[in-house]
């Protein structure tokens, strides 16, 4: 079931990276699936974002990918230094055992987003 978020001023950053042999040209379908005035797409061929958030996932020994992160309003990133997310979920099989409770659940993720924005 598709759920729409009704969160004023929601900003979404979709970072596509080169894990699993992905290339920038492969992002066209993702852009079609997730778009709107507050959605921004970026290509990260050097996996800089995944490397910056890797320390927040205990036991992850490679740059993060297939991660969904939430930050409360006003949080800023410094170059190559990500702030710790307020909530995160993943779609990585390698983390399934240790982080089964963080496996992506769209309804839970939407609820957390609304809570962090103060609209839930």
Q: Which long-range contacts (CB under 8 A, 24 or more apart) does 20-24 make?
A: 20/65
Residue 87 CB-density burial (10 A; 0-12 exposed, 13-18 middle, 19+ buried):
middle
How many helices (H) and strands (E) the chain has is answered by 3, 4
> Is the residue at 3 inside a domain?
no
Condensed to tens digits (0 to 9), the pLDDT of residues 79-93 reads: 767 899 999 988 877
> Is the residue at 109 inside a domain?
yes
Condensed to tens digits (0 to 9), the pLDDT of residues 94-103 reads: 666 777 788 8
Residue of 39, 45, 1 whose CA lies nearest to 19 = 45
> Is the residue at 73 inside a domain?
yes
For the chain, the domain total comes to 1
Range of 85's domain? 12-117
> Is the residue at 7 inside a domain?
no
Rounded to whole angstroms, the Cα distance separating 111 from 78 reads: 27
Per-residue pLDDT of the chain (120 residues; tens, 9 = 90+): 445 556 777 788 888 888 777 788 877 877 787 777 788 888 888 888 888 888 888 778 888 888 888 988 888 888 767 899 999 988 877 666 777 788 889 889 888 988 888 755
Q: What is the β-pairing status of strands 39-44 and 12-17?
A: parallel
> Is the residue at 74 inside a domain?
yes
Rounded to whole angstroms, the Cα distance separating 16 from 40 reads: 11
Rounded to whole angstroms, the Cα distance separating 77 from 97 reads: 30
């Amino acid at each position: 079931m598709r759920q729409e978020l009704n969160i004023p001023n929601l900003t979404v950053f979709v970072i596509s990276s080169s894990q699993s042999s992905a290339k920038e040209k492969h992002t066209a379908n993702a852009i079609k699936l997730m778009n709107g005035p507050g959605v921004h797409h970026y290509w990260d061929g050097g996996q800089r974002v995944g490397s910056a958030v890797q320390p927040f996932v205990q036991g992850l020994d490679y740059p993060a990918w297939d991660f969904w992160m939430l930050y409360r309003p006003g949080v800023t990133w410094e170059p190559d230094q990500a702030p710790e997310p307020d909530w995160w979920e993943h779609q990585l099989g390698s983390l399934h055992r240790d982080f089964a409770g963080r496996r992506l659940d769209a309804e839970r993720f939407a609820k957390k987003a609304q809570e962090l924005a103060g609209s839930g």
